[in-house]
A and B are shown apart, each in its own frame.
Chain A
Amino acid sequence: EAGVAQSPRYKIIEKRQSVAFWCNPISGHATLYWYQQILGQGPKLLIQFQNNGVVDDSQLPKDRFSAERLKGVDSTLKIQPAKLEDSAVYLCASSLDLKTSGVNNEQFFGPGTRLTVL
């Protein structure tokens, strides 16, 4: 079974530039998540999609971050413009629909994109 795919794996940009990350979840997973993991910390949820709708984006810095999942499958996360403090690993995860999986909401993570902002 193919896992969650993310690209690119690494990205180095200068501050004030723009960057976009791509995620392809596990086939059939309705729920998709984007996390930000700063070095030495645990993942912090940025946004959660259920199919193509946003469930939770309360921790997404909306002045510079945006995300979409137009067809309910792939998703992109964009940062525009980037700041130094955005340097982190951006993780994408997917899971089955909570309504069909019940309490078993194990999330499957991709390898992440390591972003360095200079």
Chain B
Amino acid sequence: SQQGEEDPQALSIQEGENATMNCSYKTSINNLQWYRQNSGRGLVHLILIRSNEREKHSGRLRVTLDTSKKSSSLLITASRAADTASYFCATAVYNNNDMRFGAGTRLTVKP
């Protein structure tokens, strides 16, 4: 069964704008990861945030984690057309490499 639920399901913005995607999950986690999937391709790891971290940055990406609310957000700043893809959150439970993915957010960045 899937663990994470992304919100919104689809998001369309103009190039240069910021994009925010949210993820909610159900059980206690070890860490939460965000992945990107371009059409017809495999998933690419973007960023991992551990359960004892609250915020993490990587380039134009900013991820937050609120374990009390069991939620995370991914912010992409100054979006580009190349950011057009589906974004998935995946949660990992303790002592297990098994990850559960959400259904994803489909982001479209218009040039």
A residues at B contact (CB < 8 Å) = 4, 31, 33, 35, 40-45, 48, 55-56, 91, 93, 95, 98, 103-112, 114
- Asked if residues B50 and A107 are in contact (CB atoms below 8 Å), the reply is no
Write the B70-96 contact mask toward A (1 if CB under 8 angstroms, else 0).
000000000000000000101010011
Within 8 A of A (CB), among B6-56: 30-31, 33, 35, 40-45, 48, 50
Count of chain B residues near A, Cβ 8 A: 27
- Asked if residues A42 and B45 are in contact (CB atoms below 8 Å), the reply is no
Output the nearest chain B residue to A48 by Cβ-Cβ distance: B98
- Asked if residues B42 and A42 are in contact (CB atoms below 8 Å), the reply is no
- Asked if residues B44 and A41 are in contact (CB atoms below 8 Å), the reply is no
CB A92 to nearest CB in B, in angstroms, measures: 9
Q: In the docked arrangement, what's the CA distance between A41 and B101, Å?
A: 9
- Specify which chain B residues have a CB less than 8 angstroms from the CB of A35 in the assembled complex: 101
- Asked if residues A106 and B2 are in contact (CB atoms below 8 Å), the reply is no
- Asked if residues B48 and A42 are in contact (CB atoms below 8 Å), the reply is no
CB A51 to nearest CB in B, in angstroms, measures: 13
- Asked if residues A40 and B50 are in contact (CB atoms below 8 Å), the reply is no
- Asked if residues A55 and B98 are in contact (CB atoms below 8 Å), the reply is yes
